[in-house]
Amino acid sequence: MSAGIVSYGAYLPSLAISTEAIAQANSHAHAPGLGVSQKTVPEVDEDTITISTAAAFQALSRLEDKENIQSKMGALFIGSESHPYAVKPSGTVVAQALGLPTQMALADLQFACKAGTQSFQICLMYVQAGQIEYGLAIGADTAQSAPGDALEYTAAAGGAAFVVGQHEVIATLLATTSYVTDTPDFWRRPRQSYPQHGGRFTGEPAYFHHITHATTALLAKTQLQSKDFQHVIFHTPNGKFPVTVAKQLGFTSQQMAHSLVVEKVGNTYAAASLLALVNVLDHALPGEKILLTSYGSGAGADSFAFEITPEILNFRARQSSVLADYIAKLQPITYTQYCQRSES
């Protein structure tokens, strides 16, 4: 029983701060060469719940048979590492705000930046197993970083939502794989305001190791090669890591052309890989294949292969905006304004 993407939506805050402004505030001559020119900044009343609701609302509004599909929504999973409540779920608030059924599988998920693709994977498996007709998977975050820390240059906010099902599918799931180890490269203990990380340790033994193993497992499972994909997405903690791992695995810059939205929005953590997928879907054509591999500290990676169907042309006719429109409307703020929002 096949499953795939039926609709998708995204949301970005309207504000952004340049990495150069952050560098000047920290008395650095230049921003580090991370391949990120600016990052989004949430307003004081924007959190994982509001961002998730906005992204999901757009995904639902793009459905041709919205009321029918919404009434058959059987699962909602939200992946984030910045849920506003330690005990109360984000999902119940989002479900009620969207008018979703009360009889549904629902949970908040946490696996660092992999939490978004984890929610995506679970919803797809629910559909494939025949347990539900439609599911809603969301990745959203308002990432935190300590002032002056290297993370301050990239930690951003945003969200992406995907309706998955079996009918009017715009991208069919071909396969998915996962790879996990106990690699503590990034963590935050209870009552800590900001996460801690292992610096350079987050590269080779963490990000690159897990991305490589999950991706090679997917290629083996599908018996596809790097050249068979027109679009490739690797998790974007910055603009350098995904380009580096792509070259190591035999992918080209042309295949990465639409996946590096991190350059203009920063690292949106659990939403990062999914926002890149949104931008790829905004440009993909029928018959093209997409490879996506996320990464989450702690550590693990999810890898997916999708094939675009002709239905995407009908879907695109219902789109009133694309992710690039959000990015084009980002309004720059000063470091002082940024700090005022971070402290609220």
- Cite the active site residues: 81, 113, 235
Q: In degrees rounded to 5, what are phi and psi of residue 112?
A: 50, -135
Residues 138 and 120: their CA atoms lie apart, in Å, by 7
Both structure tokens of 336: 């002082």
Q: Give the C-alpha distances (Å, rounded to integers) separating 207 from 44, 113, 204, 215.
A: 31, 11, 6, 12
Q: Do 125 and 105 form a contact (C-beta atoms < 8 A)? A: no
Q: Give the C-alpha distances (Å, rounded to integers) separating 116 from 162, 208, 246, 281, 338.
A: 10, 19, 21, 17, 26
Residues 28 and 100: their CA atoms lie apart, in Å, by 48
DSSP annotation of 240: S
Q: Please name which of 95, 41, 75, 112 lies closest in space to residue 272, comparing C-alpha atoms.
A: 112
